[in-house]
Amino acid sequence: MICKELKKIKNVIEIQHLHTCLLFFFFFIFKRISLNLYNSNSIELSGGNNISPQKPSLRTLAGKKIEEWEKYVIRSPIGKRILAAFYRSSLYSFFSMKINEFRDYKLIEEIKQYSLPKHIAIIMDGNRRFANELGLSWEAGHIFGKEKIEEVLDWCFDLGVHVLTIYAFSTENFKRSEEEVKILMMLFKEELDQAKGDSRIHKNKVRIRILGHLESLPKDIQQSAQFIMDMTKTYKTYHLNIALAYGGREEIIQAIQHMARDIKKGKLKVKDISQKTVSSYLYTKGLPDPDLILRTSGEERISNFLLWQLAYSELYFSDVYWPALQKRDFLQAIRTYQHRKRRFGK
């Protein structure tokens, strides 16, 4: 494949000085790959610190010669044409893919050396903006967003993150256009029905819960939600919580109302109310509070999500739109969480 790509590059440059330029060009590529593998600034490979001076990178070993060759390649007209052709070729895509695979592998290796978050909650944001920037309809953005949920669930299986909560539809989202709400409800129904026969759900023993004011959802979605919850209620290995028609304030209000009823019935005494008592009346009863809350799209707010449960959660905001989230972004959020010291007020 590499030979074919080099022939394509050769066709778009002048033959004069080709071999000399290619020699410099490959030294340039060698340097770029070595820097990506051993001295990347975008992902730290040494627990948050710079690479130790006791472990020199290939850049240091090669000396200043590579710097000189790089300048030659960049400044010469033929070198510029070679680079332009290379960046448009599938050879460049191949190198990039392999470098990214290596970086992901190193990051996963590092992550597994430290404690993983038991519960990750995600505010999935940016579907419509993602679609708009690609010139697509907002419907397409939501479809891509739905498919991303399945990818993230697989990442949790790979890493051993046992509780995943996703913020799919808030109580405030009902204020959107009737057409958009209708499309979203159709997608939710489709996803819930597909989950019934999803082999991954049964193989990994995933308990699915729908968190929210289910009575405000269409009847068919209520039925599908109840069916999948009943079907998976005995599973205990993984937990997937889907927040639908959910609002953090509404959840707390509902918990207070239920406690008031139990007090009136004599089932609960006011003096016995504690944090654990309140937690037992929430939608997330029996689940650990989220260790890490990830929000995509660059927005930095909580948007009425898990207001009681996030008291000591670590917050991470990613600039990437939800449908464009890559495994590397997910891993980086977890690695950042691992770098933080959780004191819980101590």
Q: Give the residue numbers marked as catalytic.
A: 125, 173
How far from each other are the two terminal CA atoms of the chain, in whole angstroms? 58
What does the angle CA 283 – CA 288 – CA 292 come to, to the nearest 5 degrees?
A: 105
For residue 200, count other CB atoms closer than 10 A to its CB. 13
Structure tokens belonging to residue 162: 């046992």
Query: Is 127:321 a contact under the CB 8 Å cutoff?
Result: yes
* Pair type for strands 163-170 and 119-123: parallel
Q: What's at 262, amino acid-wise?
A: D
Tell me which residue of 343, 328, 286, 304 sits closest to 103, measured CA to CA: 328
Q: What's at 218, amino acid-wise?
A: P
Query: Is 150:325 a contact under the CB 8 Å cutoff?
Result: no
**Residue 86: CB partners within 8 Å, gap ≥ 6?**
9, 25, 29, 92
Tell me which residue of 291, 334, 330 sits closest to 309, measured CA to CA: 291
Phi, psi of 303 (to 5 degrees): 55, 45
Q: What's at 333, amino acid-wise?
A: A
Query: Is 220:189 a contact under the CB 8 Å cutoff?
Result: yes
Query: Is 225:243 a contact under the CB 8 Å cutoff?
Result: no
Phi, psi of 44 (to 5 degrees): -85, 135
Query: Is 225:192 a contact under the CB 8 Å cutoff?
Result: yes
What does the angle CA 241 – CA 242 – CA 244 come to, to the nearest 5 degrees?
A: 140
Query: Is 241:209 a contact under the CB 8 Å cutoff?
Result: yes
The CA R_g of the chain, rounded to the nearest whole Å, is 26
